[in-house]
A = this chain, B = another copy of it.
């Protein structure tokens, strides 16, 4: 399965259901990754931030990866989060991903001590060089507290094996300039894709190659309609489809997409897992709002 097919179109990022002690529920994970693969997403993004990679042991991350690869068979390529606070741990995770058969890795600049650009450069270079796994840089300052500048993305894009960036989509008024700055920094063929579901339609219309989507983990069809309209250059169509999902985006913005997706998975009867503590499930009134929104959108 080609790595580059992970980096265009729609990638669906499911939650990773676990026990309270952090054991992955592989049966529930299979029920999560099968339907988006069947619906026609371009890749599955396993163990992203919503997939709580940061909270899971290496052995559990491997169990999740093996189960997901088996469940999707070779219908879609699998992109997997290999981030860790320590460089040596991230190297091992990328080696595991390569050995298991993932198409590519997603590498965030997780931090505790604030990191310099040179430190992140050396970290990414070590993971790419020691694993041989094609990598997507994962820029997510809201969780990692490190921001990849276009200049750093440009430096890293020249290393062998660094093939894409997943950037947080800014709001509509800023996305064109953001995309142009990244595009100017990287070689041709380097993929610039976006996370942040509520801003993704505009990011695709601005030229983004991929949407790394959280909602697509449970609701691939409406997300595919947005992505396909944007890819076809149908801006009005993409915006109309995106506007329909605004009640879901509002819940994501208010409570985080991670917490809302755990509630949605339970409402849909897919699994009853809670996020890893200290993260708590949303309170009962919010869960009620999620159920109402899913019903109104025809998603439950």
Contacts and interface: CB of A to CB of B under 8 A. Distances in A.
Given A88-B20, A112-B143, A119 B280 contact: yes
Interface string A75-90: 0000000000111100
Contacts of A52: 113
Interface stretch (A29-37, A150-158, A271-279): A271-279
A126 B49 contact: no
A256 B113 CA distance: 9
Chain A binding surface SS class: loop
Given A22-B86, A22-B88, A49 B280 contact: no
B143 A279 contact: no
Nearest to A21: B88
B55 A86 contact: yes
Contacts of A280: 116, 118-119, 122
A217 to B, nearest CB: 16
A260 interface: no
A88 B23 CA distance: 12
Contacts of A113: 49, 52, 54, 143, 256, 258, 275, 279
Interface string A262-300: 000000000000011111100000000000000000000
A120 interface: yes
A114 interface: yes
A122 B277 contact: yes
Contacts of A114: 142-143, 256
A115 interface: yes
Given A55-B85, A122-B278, A110 B112 contact: yes
Nearest to A54: B112
A20 B91 CA distance: 13
For the complex of A and B, the 5 pairs showing the least CB-CB separation, nearest first, are A123-B278, A54-B112, A87-B277, A119-B278, A87-B278
A110 B110 CA distance: 12
A62 interface: no
A145 interface: yes
Interface string A33-74: 000000000000000010010110000000000000000000
B119 A54 contact: no
B256 A112 contact: no
Nearest to A83: B112
Given A22-B88, A88-B20, A112 B55 contact: yes
Nearest to A277: B87
Contacts of A116: 280
Given A88-B22, A114-B256, A256-B114, A277 B55 contact: no
